[in-house]
Amino acid sequence: MTDLTRYPELVIKQQIEQMEIFTPFETANRYGVYTAGGTQLMHAYEESGGISRQFAGSRRALSIHVVEGDGAPVLHASRDFFWFRSHLRVDAGGRRIGALNRVFGLGRKLALVDSNEREITRLTSGLFRPHTFIANNAGGGEVARVTKQWSGFGREMFTDADTFVVQFTDGSADNDFRLLMLASAFAIDLDFFENQS
């Protein structure tokens, strides 16, 4: 499995689906996961029902599979259909490493919890920076952030293919935390930016 502790930054690029440009139909999401220098480390793909993508939209039940170039699994994230708050379970190496829970309230917030459902941190987006989600430690210091990047007028206007950057500002963060942060980029895309084009 890829050791993410070697990378201070990951870039997640959602693949453009040609069908979505010309039709109102939502297709399964696909992503590339890259280093800051542009080397592809992994790719991710969504598994969900075609009917649920059309009618349940961003609330649909789904699974996200992240695999290395040779197809070796890195992480599996899944959730059930929901009405108000999503709960994305995250597994790696055949074990539960945690989950991402959408927090009810003002603003955009996700709670990162460990395998025992204890909160590790929250990703919070500020009122004046709605595309930046910051994770702080117990003392209030930043440990990581996820930022939705501007992809250009054409891409933003005609597709829902987004680019996210995950930055680890605390170099001591372990691999499980980094995998949860990688999964948080998918959760942020699905919960807050899906179907907004």
pLDDT at 170 over 60: yes
What DSSP designation does 150 have?
P
pTM, entire model: 0.88
Helix, strand, coil share (%) of the chain residues, nearest 5: 20, 45, 35
Give the model confidence (pLDDT) of 43-90 as tens digits: 999 987 777 767 776 778 899 999 999 999 999 999 988 888 889 999
pLDDT value of residue 194: 80
Q: What is the mean pLDDT of residues 179-197?
A: 87
Taking only Cα atoms into account, the Rg of the chain, rounded to an integer number of angstroms, comes to 16
d(CA 36, CA 49): 33
The CATH number linked to 108 is 2.40.160.200
Collapsed DSSP state (helix, strand, coil) of residue 177: helix
CB 175 within 8 A of CB 133: no
d(CA 132, CA 147): 4
Length of the chain equals 197
Q: Which domain holds residue 100?
A: 4-193
Q: pLDDT tens-digit profile of 104-151? A: 877 889 999 999 999 999 999 987 788 999 999 988 999 999 999 876
Domain count, the chain: 1
CA 155-151-135 angle, to 5 degrees, is 135
Dihedral angle, C-alpha 10, 13, 14, 15, nearest 10 °: -140
Residue 50: C-alpha distances to residues 47, 61, 146, 187 (Å): 9, 11, 28, 19
